[in-house]
Structure 1
């Protein structure tokens, strides 16, 4: 990938993360996840009543590769809350199972009351 394409993708990711309180970079869309890990995170966010934006990384190779270099995190999905990288499917699932995710999201003000 060229630096210019990389920079454009990183700029898109940064803008998307800045413009939306909760963003899930995933394979597929929230209504139709295209991998099990993305599906798990969507189910958890839906279960908790989180309003989030899903970005399909399968729409371009640049985006799929770019999100990994943006966070230096090798896997997809990737969850961002208020501009901060939270983690991937394993971290989100673990936070949900241990009861940490709901209070974290509530503290961030992104959980429906």
Structure 2
């Protein structure tokens, strides 16, 4: 019955196109107080990670992968602060709006939002993450070895 209601006089089904303006976007709009607290949190330590679970017990694969990448990069524990968004539903919602990034985990370096697991993975693979962490003073620069490799 619904199909026949949608049919045009020539038997072609016509449906309206969905456009961005046809969607209603619900935004919470963070208060200045909450925004200031989040800014303090992301600036509190050189590397800040909002994740599901803890580094010792991640609660999702993306959080686990992000922790592993930061570990491979050699980010020292004293320069890394993590927040478990599963412990605080308000934090989980607020950080997504603060960063304008819809997923968790989220990584910040020196108060600057880098991205989620996919971005961190790409930066790791390209060497960009190591360079950024070195320039930010999070990890020491890799020193070139003086040893020469004999030609084969």
Asked if Structure 1 and Structure 2 have the same fold, meaning a TM-score greater than 0.5 normalized by the shorter chain, the answer is: yes
Count the aligned residue pairs.
Answer: 111
1:59-101 alpha-carbon deviations (Å, 9 max, x no partner): 1111000000001110110000001001100000011111211
Q: Give 2:106's match in structure 1, choosing from 48, 60, 78.
A: 78
Moved more, 78-87 or 95-104: 95-104
Provide the alpha-carbon RMSD of the alignment.
1.7
Ranges of 4+ aligned residues in structure 1 off by more than 2 Å: 6-12
Higher relative contact order (CA 8 A, sep 6+): 1
Give the gaps of 5 or more residues in structure 2: 1-26, 142-152
Structural mapping, 1:7-86, within 5 Å: 7=31, 8-51=33-76, 52-86=80-114
Q: TM-score, normalised by structure 2?
A: 0.67
Moved more, 6-15 or 33-42: 6-15
Larger radius of gyration: 2
Higher strand proportion (structure 1 or 2):
1
